[in-house]
Every structure is written in C-alpha cells, then in structure tokens.
Amino acid sequence: MSPIKMTWLLLTAVLVFISGPRPCAAERPSPESGPENSTERRATKFNYEALLKTIQADAAPVVDKITGRVAVDSKDWLYAAHFSPVFYQGVGRTPRGDYMLKFNYDGDWSGINNWHNLDSSNADYHGYVYFSTAETLTHFFIFYVVFHARDYKRIAEQVYLFGGTAGWLLEKHLWHENDLEGSVVVIKKNGDDPKAGEVVLVETMAHFRFFLFPTDTFLKYFTEKLLKTRKMNKAHQVAMDESHPRLFIEPEGHGIMRYEGKLEKNMMVYRYKAQTENPERADHSNIGYNLIPIYNTFWERACADIDAENVTFGSVLEFTFEPPERAPTFFHHKIQPGKKDLTVNIGVALKGRVHGANKARLPWGWWDRFDRPTWNGSWYFDPAQVVKQQFNLGDDFSTDYIHNPSINIFCREPKACLPPDNK
C-alpha cells in the first residue's frame, strides 16, 4: 500500500473517532418530540406511584464502610427511580453487545473476560443501570451509567472501499472490551418530594464529549457564545416522558444523546421498573431495568489498592482533594496533620484486554476533550460547580452540598455537618 493511501486511511479513522456518535437508522431526526407510535405510548404507562412506595419500603441503604454513615438512602432511590431515563438502545451487528448489563453479568468482577463471556451459557442479560447522587440546597444531581460488555463501533465505510484489510485492522483498533457511557440529570428541588422536583438539564457523555440538553426552564441561561461553543441551538431540548428524560444510545459504540426519532425495529427501549427483564425474553419496546448504586460496587473497588491482584480496574488516575477531609473516606488514614490537601490514586479504567486495553472509564475519569476541567474528576465530584460555571448561574443555584458521599459529605444525618461545639 502506498504511503499516500495509508496516510488517508489513518486520517479517516481519526476523524471518525473524534466526530462523536454517528446517527444510525434507528435515530432518524423528527421535529416531534412526543411518541408517534401508539404501541410506544401504551408501553410508557406504569404505576409509578405504587413503584415509588415499594422503593421507599424496600430500598436497602448503602453504608460507608469506613464511617458507618449512609451513602445511599431511600431519598436517593426515590429520586433515581422517579427521574430514571427511558433509554432507546440502538441495535447493531451483534445485538448482545448492545444489551445494558451489570458489570458482573458473567458471575465475577473480572474485566478481562467480559468480551468472550458474552455468549457463555451462564451470562445474565437482564437490564441494569448504575447510579449515584449528589444534593445541594437547591438541586439534585443523578448520574446514570450504562455498561456494555463490548464496544464494537464501526468506522467509515470508505476505509473498507479503499483500504481492504487495513480498514478491518483499523476498526479492530477502535474496538475494546467493556464500555461505559452515561448522563447526569439535574433536578430543581421543591421540598424533599421528588414528584415536586423538575428536570432542568441533562448532560450526556458520548466518546469524551459532553452534550448539554436543557428543558424550557433552563433555556434562559444559554448565551449566544455558549450555543456556538457547544454547536447547539435552542431546539436542543431533551424530550421527556413525564418525569423521565428520553435518551438515545447509539448501537455498537454506545454514545448517549437525546432521543429524537421514532420507535423502530432495530431498537430496544429500556425503562426503569425495579424488576429487571431479559431482552431475549421481553418485548423490545418495553424492557425493564433496575438500578444499582455505584457506591458499593465500582466506587469501593476503585478506592481499593490497584495492583496486579485487582481484577476490576486496570489503570488509576491521580486526584487531589483540598481540604484533605474532602477525599474519599477510604483514604483518610493518609491525611497528614498540617497539610492542606491530599493526593491519592483512584481506579478509573476497567481492566480489559480484548482489542483496546483498559478503555472503559468510570464517570470520575470522564472529561470533555475540548473542554478539559481544571482538576481531575470535577464533573463527578463537584457537578454543581461545573454546571454553575457552564451557564454562569447566580445565587439561586447553590453549590453547597448537603449530600455528596464521594467527597465525604453526609449532611442529611442529624447534626452531621455542624461544628463540633454545636453537636
């Protein structure tokens, strides 16, 4: 192959890789935001009132192992359920690669066998979504993280036309074992009842790009400069199904965007039901998923020692917390008297070997490649400050947390955050 052709192939692959999610046939833009298909409309109706009562009665609290404080309580479960997205999952060449799974769907927490175990006899294909929360005086932030066992995105068809075998090799280079994409839903509170809250903004992650999708309430904060920078216009609103944002997950590569199209045959629709369902046995227009807290799954493992024996995480990132008390509780034994900060290593990328190694990152390792934050993890650890800066918001958007367990803030408990003299 000539040097000119090889250069052209590499440039094509790079351009496709950085261009973000490519719309598929399942995401045909429509000017209508509401469902046109009567089957879809019927499928959206659930008795969420009864569902929320069940959660309130049965949701198990998640307790921080170091402090004994409650990291995930019934309030977190209620908010996460009430505002849970409806996911319109595109289906590609390998449908099981597009199933929304739990990481240990194969019965273990190893990341290096998830690609090959996808077709094993003991694979659990039931739908799951991971979540975590943070709460300020005025707003609630819910992270929803979706796991797929494979990222098998295809690259430009031109590479095949001109590149032959080289095109196949380039595509293989972009594939990787394990895949994580997600979103954060921002809710304006009105008391503690989630039913009184209102979604004002949804930010999604797609291949290291953050996409902002506001509701009507939030449009006033969009300046012309911001619209130009984000390549957006005021039509970029997230469609809602009652209290649930409607999000599209691209097939094969799994970048998440707002949903714009209609229900089609090559699409699976996942909705939160508390009872999870297997897409190989369920109606594809109405697949139930359940929620799993990040705190006692990925987070605890990320804060454990990352060494050769760690089967879940393959790489770490250095994080600095100031003051040191804001560091995760798992590292508080490393705080030195008189030091104003604490720098620690936290696992960020799941261990994977097939094709690209250690490519799937947890949300504390996400950033926008065109808008890198001033410090690692800010989008996850301090979402209120990030959103406030994005829109230059005023005092009616608080950055004072009353609950953010990842940075050791547990102020919902009585007197938990009062000065020592007042306890």
pLDDT 10s digits, 263-275: 777 899 999 998 8
Is there a contact between 409 and 403 (Cβ–Cβ < 8 Å)? yes
Ordered alpha helix ranges (H), 208-262: 224-229
Is 230 inside any structural domain? yes
- Cβ-based neighbours of 4, under 8 Å, separated by 6 or more: none
Instruction: Return contacts of 294-297, CB within 8 angstroms, 24+ apart.
Output: 294/130, 294/131, 294/132, 294/143, 294/145, 294/362, 294/363, 295/62, 295/64, 295/71, 295/72, 295/132, 295/405, 295/406, 296/62, 296/71, 296/72, 297/103, 297/130
285-326 pLDDT, tens digit per residue, is 999 999 999 999 999 999 987 665 778 999 999 999 999 999
Total domains, the chain:
1
Would you say residue 56 has pLDDT above 90?
no
Is 345 inside any structural domain? no
Exposed (0-12), middle (13-18) or buried (19+): which is 402, by Cβ within 10 Å? middle
The DSSP bridge partners found for residue 349 are 315, 361
Would you call 408 helix, strand, or coil by DSSP? coil
Is 325 inside any structural domain? no
Is 257 inside any structural domain? yes
Confidence at residue 10, expressed as pLDDT on a 0 to 100 scale: 47
Rounded Cα–Cα distance for residues 203 and 387 (Å): 10
Is 370 inside any structural domain? no
Q: What's the pTM value of the predicted model, to 2 decimals? A: 0.83
Is 23 inside any structural domain? yes
**Least trusted range by pLDDT, from 127-131, 234-238, 276-280:** 234-238
72-117 pLDDT, tens digit per residue, is 999 999 999 999 999 999 998 899 999 999 999 999 999 999 999 9
| Domain containing residue 274 | 3-293+375-406
Is 358 inside any structural domain? no
Is 321 inside any structural domain? no
Rounded Cα–Cα distance for residues 201 and 216 (Å): 9
